[in-house]
A = this chain, B = another copy of it.
């Protein structure tokens, strides 16, 4: 069901940080302006994480045995928790709530039928405690299927243009991480092709990834539902079906990479156990590889969570990263700035 279980399944266990006040003091990052001009990653503090990135890029782009041709410089990024915030709920869950509210006038029965009644009142905790698998499937169906791809794209564009995070008051599209925007630009400036490989819905991400990350729709891999080609009155449409075609999470990530990209990345960036298989697949190729985890360690400026979180859990991945010497970015220590 288009990742519905993943997106909605943890509503009752979401962390309930109300860290709004913590966002007041964020500037545009420190450092003197001369250094910033020559530094492609000005929001990154000097340290082993930044050094591992810069050294990797130098190795694969410079002369020497580790040189990688431009065509093979593929870098893949998880989205939720790696490029933008995912607490206290995945952004797509807020979109789903919005869609339900928009559809509610056509469904008067939802006023008394759970979990819809609680969802429409914003009581996520109660809704999640009442929702069955069938309810979640129904929620994904009514919000993500039945319409044409053009209609769905319009609804996403409209929502993302104005929707704000309930705790920070920022546009969701500005809940992206400034250091990661710099990293994307730095890699592209060095000949990399940057892809998103996310458990989120592919059609939920594509309408805005180009504007927000500089990543075009054809470089977005995600969880995908079925589609049907309909000619109708001679004007063809693609209609979204309530079937799950690809679940782009865990083992689904290297599978999505193979299916969409068709070659193994040389760099992969994630933040959770859902990204572990993608990092393993990337790291196991020959030659220099960069496997990097963003570790959410900053309760003051963002959120702090890892092994026990029900959104973006990072447990096995953290152990494997340490065992294999992968790069682990501490948001608190390695990033001067969180948001743009």
Contact = CB atoms under 8 A, between A and B. Distances in A.
Interface of A: 71, 74, 149, 193, 202-203, 206, 210, 216-220, 224, 227-229, 231, 235-236, 238, 245, 251, 254-255, 258-263, 277, 280-281, 284
A305 to B, nearest CB: 26
Contacts of A260: 218, 260
A150 to B, nearest CB: 9
Contacts of A206: 262-263
Q: Which 9 A-B pairs have the closest CB atoms?
A: A217-B262, A229-B251, A206-B262, A218-B261, A227-B255, A236-B280, A229-B254, A236-B281, A236-B284
Contacts of A236: 254, 277, 280-281, 284
Contacts of A245: 245, 259
Contact of A227 (B202, B229, B258): B258
Nearest to A226: B255
Copies in the complex: 2
6 contacts: A149-B258, A218-B263, A220-B262, A236-B281, A238-B255, A260-B260
A111 B220 CA distance: 48
B193 A218 contact: yes
Of the candidates A219, A261, A277, the one having the most CB atoms from chain B within 10 angstroms of its own CB is A261
Nearest to A207: B262
B217 A259 contact: no
A216 B72 CA distance: 10
Given A236-B281, A236-B284, A227 B259 contact: yes
A106 to B, nearest CB: 26
A175 B53 CA distance: 44
A229 B258 CA distance: 10
Contact of A224 (B218, B251, B259): B259
A229 B74 CA distance: 20
